[in-house]
């Protein structure tokens, strides 16, 4: 190995622009300060009358006049006592300085007396009579150094400051380190797609995806086309150009895309919609072009765009716009299905908001398939729990079917979290395997929060909460269309509840009758009914119950066509069905007021039914509530035994 030092191998030292800016600023400030102090150190100002008196007294040797002031030089042999007597009446402490202070100053280099310039035509005659030498100051010629100090240097400082700030913006805009100013600009339009090659795949296959059999089937066919295109071409089948994955958050859309990457064995480009858009107009379109140009060089391949609604929103038809997102969308439309064919490229995209996407993006030829990735059903939840529990040590008593029944409406992400929380609880309890109790507790933790042990309720509040929760459970058990109770607790939870009643359906249901919906509303209002029946009071604890009951009753009236007044008439539509699922009214204000009255009638009827049920079973209400106060938690089996015994 050679010992010679290679200077090219040394890292380049970066210029610290901030220090340079500070030095230039201090240099400019110092030059201006020198110019301000140059040639002037007058310390005594006198009145114009005193100046004339000094001239008449014959003590003035010479004067220096400019447009603003007159500087006065005294004679070297002037009688300083006479000068002091002239200046003392009005000059104050400054003008009445000692003789020594005046003698110490050498004239004419330093002037100690000055006065303002007055328009006096007789001044020159008076000065000549007093034999005073008169000097009119001539403005100095501006030097090159002064020009640099007063104009070029500040301009250079401003330019460098602008350059420094703009360079930082370029780095943040995508130029990266080491690219410099031009490197930052040239890197803006580059695609930020992450490439998962065959050797470096995601490590996820379709075997890791459960509960989405239909979605897997559609994607498996697209992957097979990339692997074996001839068998499709022989029969005349055309390659699907794209697939749009649609569904609520946490259902596995991105997981499916990663599984495609693991199965396809072809280059896989992954990026989000927001990565296309930057602060400069035209950057998004440039990145789309760059992405597809790169993909064409590596066909067959797959492009996955997550959260495509960031760039694929509907174009505004009200006014002519040409903003960054619209340009990006136009370029994406052209690349996916324009005059130039992109054979061998499949585009996958995912979104939670398909209703906001542009229609031109959704048509066949761009996204040939819309794959719905919804929340899993009962068998899907059981399959997802089995996949996530493969790496977890389970106790023999674990029943995943029971856990799946308890998690109706849960997404794949929720189920994965439930298994993980169960494993964490088993570790906290110093166990080597996850039990059924761990998983059931994790279900409550995910949906209701952890137990809030530091919240201490008074005896009166605990009694109110106990009767409230037993009211829910008792009303549910006394109705034939209600769901069976699994657990009642009055232990506060971190998500705000002071207690809750867990009901589990006996089977997965996709359709509900009017009677079943009315039973649900009655069960929700059972807590408030128990407070009224037992204490004759209404508390704030029923706020969430009332909100849910009102929402369900409003849907019965406005969407399900289950009201006697409106019949099968739709009064609202659902927006953002995969996110908040809020309802938008589609009727007039008068009809809306009538719908409010119909909702009120349903709630009033259910409230009366709940109160009647509890009054007719007041002994059971008291007995179960007292047991709950004593034990704090009652299982569904214990609840039914107490109900039969009372």
Active site residues: 469
Q: Are 72 and 60 in contact (CB under 8 A)?
A: yes
Integer Cα distance of 123 and 120 in angstroms? 5
Per this entry, what is the length of the chain? 646
CA 609 centroid distance within chain: 46
438 touches 429 (CB < 8 A) = yes
Q: Measured between alpha carbons, how far is 48 from 38 in angstroms, rounded to an integer?
A: 25
What gap in Å lies between CA 327 and CA 332, rounded to an integer?
9
Place of tokens 């697209």: 222
Give the bridge partners for 302, in sequence order. 268, 346
Residue 360 and residue 619: Cα distance in Å, rounded? 65
Query: Which segments of 287-377 are extended strands (E)?
Result: 301-306, 345-351, 369-372
First to last CA, the chain: 94
- 247, 327, 351, 557, 630 from 313: Cα distances, Å: 17, 12, 11, 32, 57
Take residue 311 and report the two structure tokens written for it.
Answer: 């760039």
**Residue 398 to residue 412: CA distance in whole angstroms:** 19
Rg (CA), the chain: 44
Measured in degrees and rounded to the nearest 5, phi and psi for residue 495 equal -85, 10
Answer yes or no: are the C-beta atoms of 246 and 373 closer than 8 Å.
Answer: yes
Q: Give the whole-angstrom CA distance, residue 209 versus residue 416.
A: 12
Structure tokens at 206: 């379709």
Residue 6: Cβ-neighbour burial (10 angstroms; 0-12, 13-18, 19+): exposed
Give which of 307, 298, 248, 317 is closest to 276, Cα–Cα. Answer: 307
Quick one: 432 exposed, middle or buried, by C-beta within 10 A (0-12, 13-18, 19+)? exposed
Euclidean distance between CA atoms 78 and 72, whole angstroms: 13
- Closest by CA to 491, choosing from 282, 640, 633, is 633
Which two three-digit tokens encode residue 620?
């059971």
3-state secondary structure of 63: strand
Q: Which element (helix H / strand E) includes 156?
A: helix 153-170
The separation between CA 471 and the C-alpha centre of its own chain, rounded to angstroms, equals 41
User: Which residues, other chains included, contact 194 with Cβ-Cβ below 8 Å and sequence gap of 6+?
Assistant: 269, 270, 271
Alpha carbons 631 and 487: distance in angstroms, whole number: 12
Measured distance CA(128)–CA(316) in Å, rounded: 86
Contact (CB, 8 A) for 331 and 282: no
Provide the H-helix boundaries in 11-79: 17-37, 48-56
């Amino acid at each position: 190995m050679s010992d010679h030092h290679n200077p090219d191998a040394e890292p380049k030292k970066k210029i610290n622009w901030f220090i340079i800016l500070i030095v230039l600023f201090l240099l400019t400030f110092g030059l201006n300060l020198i110019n301000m102090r140059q040639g002037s150190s007058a310390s005594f100002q006198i009145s114009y009358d005193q100046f004339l008196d000094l001239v008449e007294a014959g003590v003035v040797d010479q004067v220096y006049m400019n447009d603003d002031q007159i500087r006065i030089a005294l004679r070297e042999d002037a009688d300083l006592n006479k000068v002091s007597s002239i200046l003392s009446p009005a000059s104050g402490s400054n003008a009445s300085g000692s003789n020594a202070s005046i003698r110490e100053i050498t004239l004419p280099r330093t002037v100690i007396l000055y006065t303002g310039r007055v328009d006096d035509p007789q001044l020159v005659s008076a000065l000549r009579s007093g034999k005073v030498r008169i000097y009119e100051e001539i403005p100095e010629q501006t030097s090159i150094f002064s020009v640099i100090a007063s104009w070029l240097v500040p301009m250079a400082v401003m330019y460098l400051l602008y350059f420094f700030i703009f360079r930082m913006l370029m780095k943040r805009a995508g130029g990266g380190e080491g690219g410099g100013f031009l490197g930052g600009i040239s890197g803006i339009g580059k695609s930020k797609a992450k490439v998962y090659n065959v050797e470096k795949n995601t490590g996820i296959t379709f075997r890791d995806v459960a509960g989405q059999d239909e979605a897997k089937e559609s994607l498996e066919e697209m992957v097979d086309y990339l692997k074996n295109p001839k068998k499709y071409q022989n029969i005349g089948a055309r390659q699907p150009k794209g697939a749009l994955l649609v569904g609520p958050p946490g259902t596995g859309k991105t997981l499916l895309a990663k599984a495609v990457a693991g199965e396809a064995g072809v280059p896989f480009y992954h990026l989000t919609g927001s990565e296309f858009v930057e602060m400069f107009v035209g950057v998004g379109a440039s990145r789309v072009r760059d992405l597809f140009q790169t993909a064409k060089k590596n066909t067959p391949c797959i492009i996955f765009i997550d959260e495509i609604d960031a760039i694929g929103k509907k174009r505004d038809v009200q006014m002519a716009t040409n903003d960054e997102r619209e340009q990006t969308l136009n370029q994406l439309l052209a690349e996916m299905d324009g005059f130039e064919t992109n054979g061998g490229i499949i585009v996958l995209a995912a979104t939670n908001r398909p209703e906001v996407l542009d229609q031109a993006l959704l048509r066949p030829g761009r996204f040939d398939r819309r794959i719905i990735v919804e929340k899993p059903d009962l068998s899907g939840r059981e399959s997802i729990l089995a996949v996530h529990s493969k790496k977890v040590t389970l106790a023999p008593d674990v029943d995943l079917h029971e856990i799946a029944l308890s998690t109706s409406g849960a997404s794949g992400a929720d189920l994965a979290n439930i298994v993980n929380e169960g494993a964490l609880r088993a570790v906290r309890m110093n166990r080597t395997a996850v039990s059924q109790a761990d998983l059931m507790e994790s279900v409550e933790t995910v949906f209701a929060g952890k137990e809030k042990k530091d919240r201490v309720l008074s005896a009166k509040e605990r009694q109110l909460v106990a009767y409230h929760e037993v009211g829910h459970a008792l009303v549910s058990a006394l109705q034939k269309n209600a769901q069976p109770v699994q657990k009642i607790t009055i232990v506060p939870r971190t998500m705000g509840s002071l207690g809750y009643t867990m009901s589990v359906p006996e089977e997965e249901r996709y359709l509900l009758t009017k009677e079943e919906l009315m039973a649900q509303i009655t069960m929700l209002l059972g807590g408030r009914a128990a407070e009224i029946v037992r204490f004759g009071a209404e508390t704030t604890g029923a706020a969430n119950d009332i909100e849910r009951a009102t929402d369900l009753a409003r849907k019965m009236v406005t969407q399900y066509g289950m009201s006697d007044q409106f019949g099968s008439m739709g009064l609202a539509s659902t927006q953002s069905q995969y996110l908040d699922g809020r309802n938008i009214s589609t009727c007039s204000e008068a009809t809306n007021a009538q719908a409010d009255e119909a909702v009120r009638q349903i709630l009033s009827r259910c409230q009366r039914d709940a109160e009647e049920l509890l009054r007719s079973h007041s002994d059971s209400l008291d007995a179960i509530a007292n047991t709950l106060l004593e034990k704090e938690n009652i299982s569904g089996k214990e609840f039914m035994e107490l109900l039969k015994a009372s």
